[in-house]
Structure 1
Amino acid sequence: MIDDPATDKANPRIRRGFVAPRRAPYAASVEDFHDATRPGTRDALVERLAGGVEPGRRRDIGQLGAWTASLPALADVLVKAGLQRLWVGLEYRPYQAGNKRADAIVAGFSPDGRPAYLIVELKQWQRAAWDAVGEQVTGAIVSNERVKHPYDQAHDYGQFIRNFTSGMHDEDGVTIAAAAYLHNATESSVESLRTAGMPQARGTFSGDPDGRERFIELLTTTFDAGRDGSPAWDALASADYQQGPTLLEAAARIFADRERYPLTDEQYDVFGRIQNAVSDAINPAADREQAIIVVKGGPGTGKTWIALHLLGANAHAGRQVSYCTNSGSLRNALQTSAGFNKLLGGERAKRLITSARTYHDFLERRTKLDLLIIDEAQRLEQWTVLSGHHNSRARQDHLEANNITQLFELKKSAKVLVLFIDEDQAATSKDFVTIARAREIAHRTGASLEVLELTEQHRSGGSQAYEAWVDALVDGEPAIWHDEDTFTVSVADTPTELERTVFAGFPLGEARLVAGFCWDWRKPTVDSIHQLPFDIDIDGWKKHWNLHKALDGYPKDTDWARTPSGAKQVGSVFTAQGFEFPQVGVIIGPDLVWDDTAGRMTVRMEASRYAKLVQLHNRSPHEDVRIRNQYRVLLTRAMRGVVLYSTDPATRALLRRIVNPA
């Protein structure tokens, strides 16, 4: 039994979380910042910064040296520009930017009175060149990774601030600009960097007299030197996380303008390595023109985000590319979204955004795609079924005799196959593909195989602690949860309380209710929602599942996630996977309950109404892990908070003990 931590703080089963690091470990006026960077005080500033960032960076000698060299150079140019009244924040960590931090943010007000922020990327490079083909910096440092343009680094931090920070969304009301300051370089030694584009040309500065003069001109035109910058800095430093555009809202914009919604450094590295593989595959002189790249990552690590960036980048480059997902809800939402239809037209959207069964005719295709991007790859099935639930006997015999699996069909359709996968989200009876099976297909088709991993968390308020807490709850030793600044968890004693709490404070139609599949899903045989019997009944609290077909303004299942009236229905793993919502209420049904003797949550397959999964479990008892995975999916759909309710009293009592104990 897990004891109340108030009375048993040493209970070994209860693991403690961590407190998120501060957004910026140092902020001061430019005047004070300049004083802090002088020889007699600089070491204290560096020590303060070292103590304010993640432990892994605290004794990075290179980072300590960078602060020691770069911060005085920045302070000098700010003072020379006469901006002593402005404020500077160092090592600021924008929401949703992963573990990366902006080197410096100068805060103040523009000449017309708007809050203004300049994100500055500092580099000690003495020289650097821009590789336009590879879209990366060369000649600056020795690295096996793609090196992003320093202006783009600063710009991306600014976009994270713009997209995910309260009070910063209004482009007309708040100025957010970017600059790269290479204080050891000369204008001639980094001239190539300014060929990357007009923004990069205007925003990249060397440390020689000409470079400093251009930098000072940018500073003095961006800021009003006579105004105190502290209110502007305070507004940023105290700003809360605010959800930016949803994936569906951003999808078409990513396709049209990837710079508007940048990738984190971790995501960009994965993106770059995939792009390099595509370039190699379409090069006639390449040793091998076949590749499978597996990108594994948990919920909220940005798999779909990267997939959409790849789709946009390669389509604009004139390459043959398609995006594929077996999630009917996500595919339908993307195909029919207003942004994509306006940008591409409905037919082209359907050609770019496909299902796996599209590629069953790979033998008849005259040319291969350059790149085929598979999202939610764990949801690929063993065999492609063209219509209905089963193939004809003759077709199925042919597939099995020749081992033509769905994954084999997909690889034979493209030179480069990218699989975005989370094996811990294999939740339905048909989910088949694993990394091991991808390796088998690579060997069979003569393709190279590379496995990349995403670790940063961008859903659940960016909380890696919450992701670990969910894993421990559904398939381990439950841990104590304490709310963080960006994510909250609460427990309801009744489904009525759950519903009231979930929707409080959110515009109509934004939050959602989801549940484990423990109630039958009825097919409508009536013409009105009022005639349709409720599917879910918990002590008199009654709800419909998402509907098989639209009725009276209520959406069908594939539209449930993106239609406001879907909030009045309860979603399942089939309709929620791949989507995110500001707040989610999760009903944990009788198929996953707390077992005090075992000290963990236990699966009760007999309580599931998912007949095919029950049949699979009867053949392979270890497949009860799919019930755990279903709840892992449901518990990780929220951006800002989840509310939990269990139909089982013992499980509710557990949740009360471990969620925000006094």
Structure 2
Amino acid sequence: MLLQLSAAELGQLIVARPGSAYLPLTERLIHEHVQVKGRAAEQGDIASWDNSIPVVVRALLDCGLDEVEVQVEVDLPHTNSAVDLVLCGRRPGTETDSYLAVELKQVRHATVDPRCPIAVDLGFGDGKNKLHPVRQIQRYCEYMVRYLPHLREGDDRLMGVALLHNARDADVEALFELPESDHGFLYTLDDLERFRRALTSRFTAASGKQAAHALEHARRDPLRKVTDVARQRSVKGGGLTLLDEQYVAFDRITRHLEKAAPATAFDVGLFQDADTAPGPAPEPGPKRVYILRGGPGSGKSAVALELQRSLGLKGREAVLASGSHAYTETLRNIMLGTARQGQASSKRAAANKLYRYFNSFTDTPPDSIDVLICDEAHRLRRSSTHRWMPKELRDDDRPQATELIRAARVPIFLLDDHQSIRPDEVGTADYLKALAEEIGCSVEVTDLEGTFRAGGSKRYQGWVQQLLGLRTSDPVAWRPDGRMTLTVADSPEQMERFIRERALEGATARITAGFCWPWSDPEEGRLVDDVRIEDWSRPWNVKPSHSVPDAPRSDYWSTDARGIGQIGCVYTAQTFEYDWNGVIIGPDLLFRDGTFRVDRAASRDPGFRGEVDDSVVDRCVRNAYHVLLTRGVIGTVVYATDRRTHNELRRLIPGAIGMQHYDGAQPRLTAEGPQLPPDYRRRHR
């Protein structure tokens, strides 16, 4: 949140001063934006503050609601999205806390995309459709209610409106066709009197400070992780609340399916058994391929699961494929866990049909699958040929992506251009788009720009890419943004203790490392402590082909609590997330002369053996650390084995781990502000 003041206090800040380019309120918000978010505000935000907020403030003052508290730019929990305004006060009649979320739009004209009623052109001139303002505020309100229990204490504690204060009804007429609800009403310049009546119906003249304080300091439910969504998606409200461009893409796809063909009798879902049935005739015209591209934590996997859930409830065949063994087996295991007595065999067969691998479509008849959702598509291989494949199916020249596109009536790919981690992984949006168009398909590419990981910190995501050289700009110092905690551990021992303490507090926590140590087979039923750093050593997670007592299978390392006892590699961590993330940067990534350099000789990854070009190894190593550094939901702790690299991290990252006392208890390790590392705490004579 950038600012909170009463309507009366804001009223004094919306009086223009001679010679000033902006209102006093706008100037204050420009300053607060730099202080809170660490970057200058965009021109669109500044224009909204200068032109839109005064409309709401004047409406409150006209209604005698001077003491209603106004919160500006209120962050949605765990994301980088924000509600323009949240008004806080007391409800007439009940005197309970009452809230109104307001999404402000300066548009004067708007048209609805004929292919999708919630995708609209708001006249910004960028050629991009936006989410319908009413649907946008409806989703924001739904998200707030889901993660803020205080808003669930009353049935109608939160209301939402989209205010297009410059637009006439006639100029945005198409927007009114979308149904309104308590979480989303539409008001224009012609409706300002109706908007004032809405304000008086929500608030009394009493002070809203208590309600604002209650909302600001209310408990926030933890973010639902991918596995949580998978487990809960059969129950009411168990799906994901999609926001902004996520919802646009989701709606476009589902509407395309409704028009392409009627629902099939293939009733398959997490809690339904698969039963084959003949599919509908394909839609005339070119096949349409959807590509959803997003960074770590942008909700790609959750969107994939929500698509599958929604389509399954409508009786549509929706198969989810992946190149990740851990991800696929985890989803299969979750579904198997829903089997009633005597159903295990049929449920296992349904799970194996519902969740498949990219290389399992070599002999699938064309268009025999209704919808094929390809998650983790950055892990697509050049071809599906492998050493166990029958000779008659081998085809090294046929792209794996071609098999997937051919197999489905509607293929959907979700990917991150910076997460391919093996030399033969080729999945990028550009690669898939070119391949699909080459075989006659039409392609839609949507960028998922939000983030649900790292506390919703877009800054952290960009900082990691700069650090690893995945952007053109050089590494920069981390500037804390209040969303993501980033600290440096002084030793692997300190990192492990810190991570284990977070787990004892009830958080999920893991340590991962670059692939710079051997990975031994178990000896006499015990894991070998392969990851050795001076006097400290720990084992890797269990190999996929082995099982060890008291340690989870590799597929479940990220989700089984026992995984905290081993060091995870990138192949077991990818796709998943945990609250606290420890990352050991090995000697394969060295900081020299102001940038990271890859030392191929230090890597133990067997995929780099043989004639693999250095540039490919460089890409894979950087992408691997990009994956590892972006698993944390709350915070990340880093340690580098190379002294020069570690000192550079200390220079770039102000956070450190220190000892704190709480109420006289034993001291514990906490993430706190900058401090001197042990080597420099003593004054040298």
- How far apart are 1:589 and its partner, in Å? 1.7
User: Alpha-carbon deviations, 1:508-556, whole Å to 9, x = none?
Assistant: 46111101112232333645xxx44333233332322222345444210
Counterpart residue number, 2:466: 472
Counterpart residue number, 1:104: 85
Counterpart residue number, 2:364: 362
CA RMSD between the two structures: 4.3
- Give the alignment partner of residue 295 of structure 2, picking from 276, 285, 298: 298
Counterpart residue number, 1:624: 618
1:58-77, aligned counterparts within 5 Å? 58-60=42-44, 64=47, 68=51, 71=53, 74-75=56-57
- Give the alignment partner of residue 614 of structure 1, picking from 609, 612, 630: 609
**Does residue 119 of structure 1 match 2:106?**
no
**TM-score, normalization: structure 1?**
0.79
State the AA in 1 paired with 2:5: A
Distance 1:472 1:208 in 2: 47
- How far apart are 1:164 and its partner, in Å? 5.7
**Does residue 153 of structure 1 match 2:130?**
no
State the AA in 2 paired with 1:594: F
**Does residue 266 of structure 1 match 2:245?**
yes
- How far apart are 1:574 and its partner, in Å? 0.6
SS at match of 1:643: strand
- How far apart are 1:638 and its partner, in Å? 0.9
What are the ranges of 5 or more consecutive residues in structure 2 without an aligned counterpart?
Answer: 263-280, 341-345, 655-673, 676-685
**Does residue 332 of structure 1 match 2:315?**
no
SS at match of 2:519: coil
Counterpart residue number, 1:489: 486
- How far apart are 1:264 and its partner, in Å? 3.2
State the AA in 1 paired with 2:86: I
Distance 1:354 1:551 in 2: 26
SS at match of 1:428: coil
1:15-414, aligned counterparts within 5 Å? 23-24=1-2, 26-33=3-10, 43-45=23-25, 48=28, 58-60=42-44, 64=47, 68=51, 71=53, 74-75=56-57, 78-79=60-61, 83-98=65-80, 100-110=81-91, 115-122=97-104, 134-136=116-118, 145-162=128-145, 171=153, 175-181=157-163, 196-197=178-179, 199=181, 203-204=185-186, 216=197, 219=199, 222-223=202-203, 225=204, 227-237=206-216, 243-251=222-230, 253=232, 261-275=240-254, 278=257, 282=261, 288-337=285-334, 341=338, 348=350, 350-363=352-365, 367-384=367-384, 389-396=387-394, 399-400=395-396, 403-414=397-408
Preserved contact between residue 518 and residue 590 of structure 1 (Cα < 8 Å):
yes
SS at match of 1:423: coil
When structure 1 is superposed on structure 2, of 488-497 and 333-342 the one drifting more is 333-342
Counterpart residue number, 2:630: 636
When structure 1 is superposed on structure 2, of 340-349 and 548-557 the one drifting more is 340-349
- How far apart are 1:410 and its partner, in Å? 0.3
Distance 1:124 1:440 in 2: 38
- How far apart are 1:562 and its partner, in Å? 1.0
State the AA in 2 paired with 1:501: F
Distance 1:603 1:540 in 2: 25
Counterpart residue number, 1:498: 495
Counterpart residue number, 1:17: none
Counterpart residue number, 1:591: 588
Q: Cα distance 1:590–1:35, how it changes in 2: closer, same or farther (>3 A)?
A: closer
- How far apart are 1:592 and its partner, in Å? 2.0
Preserved contact between residue 86 and residue 107 of structure 1 (Cα < 8 Å):
yes
User: Alpha-carbon deviations, 1:489-509, whole Å to 9, x = none?
Assistant: 222222111111223345346
Q: Cα distance 1:393–1:191, how it changes in 2: closer, same or farther (>3 A)?
A: closer
- How far apart are 1:287 and its partner, in Å? 6.5
SS at match of 1:84: coil
Q: Cα distance 1:631–1:91, how it changes in 2: closer, same or farther (>3 A)?
A: closer
State the AA in 1 paired with 2:76: P
SS at match of 1:424: coil
SS at match of 1:651: helix
State the AA in 2 paired with 1:568: G
- Give the alignment partner of residue 650 of structure 1, picking from 641, 644, 651: 644
Q: Cα distance 1:628–1:288, how it changes in 2: closer, same or farther (>3 A)?
A: same
Distance 1:467 1:34 in 2: 37
Preserved contact between residue 51 and residue 58 of structure 1 (Cα < 8 Å):
no
Distance 1:279 1:522 in 2: 51
Preserved contact between residue 163 and residue 245 of structure 1 (Cα < 8 Å):
no
State the AA in 1 paired with 2:498: T
Preserved contact between residue 104 and residue 121 of structure 1 (Cα < 8 Å):
yes
- How far apart are 1:208 and its partner, in Å? 6.7
Preserved contact between residue 328 and residue 355 of structure 2 (Cα < 8 Å):
yes
SS at match of 1:615: coil
- How far apart are 1:353 and its partner, in Å? 3.2
- Give the alignment partner of residue 541 of structure 2, picking from 526, 531, 546: 546
Preserved contact between residue 319 and residue 373 of structure 2 (Cα < 8 Å):
yes
SS at match of 1:362: coil
Q: Cα distance 1:227–1:336, how it changes in 2: closer, same or farther (>3 A)?
A: farther
Counterpart residue number, 1:4: none
User: Alpha-carbon deviations, 1:3-48, whole Å to 9, x = none?
Assistant: xxxxxxxxxxxxxxxxxxxx23x43223444565678999444555
- Give the alignment partner of residue 409 of structure 2, picking from 407, 410, 415: 415
Counterpart residue number, 1:18: none
**TM-score, normalization: structure 2?**
0.76
- How far apart are 1:446 and its partner, in Å? 1.1
User: Alpha-carbon deviations, 1:365-418, whole Å to 9, x = none?
Assistant: 6x43343221111212233257xx53244432xx23xx3332111010123322
Distance 1:514 1:299 in 2: 16
SS at match of 1:337: helix
Q: Cα distance 1:316–1:78, how it changes in 2: closer, same or farther (>3 A)?
A: farther
Distance 1:140 1:493 in 2: 51
- How far apart are 1:105 and its partner, in Å? 1.0
What are the ranges of 5 or more consecutive residues in structure 1 without an aligned counterpart?
Answer: 1-22
Aligned length: 618
Q: Cα distance 1:47–1:58, how it changes in 2: closer, same or farther (>3 A)?
A: farther
Which protein has greater RCO, CA pairs closer than 8 Å, 6+ apart? Answer: 1
Preserved contact between residue 485 and residue 634 of structure 2 (Cα < 8 Å):
yes
Preserved contact between residue 291 and residue 416 of structure 1 (Cα < 8 Å):
yes
| Bigger helix share | 1
Q: Cα distance 1:419–1:526, how it changes in 2: closer, same or farther (>3 A)?
A: same
Preserved contact between residue 15 and residue 24 of structure 2 (Cα < 8 Å):
no
User: Alpha-carbon deviations, 1:297-329, whole Å to 9, x = none?
Assistant: 322233223323333344444443322211121
Distance 1:190 1:297 in 2: 31
- Give the alignment partner of residue 659 of structure 1, picking from 653, 661, 677: 653
Q: Cα distance 1:269–1:151, how it changes in 2: closer, same or farther (>3 A)?
A: closer
State the AA in 2 paired with 1:631: Y
Counterpart residue number, 1:5: none
State the AA in 1 paired with 2:133: P
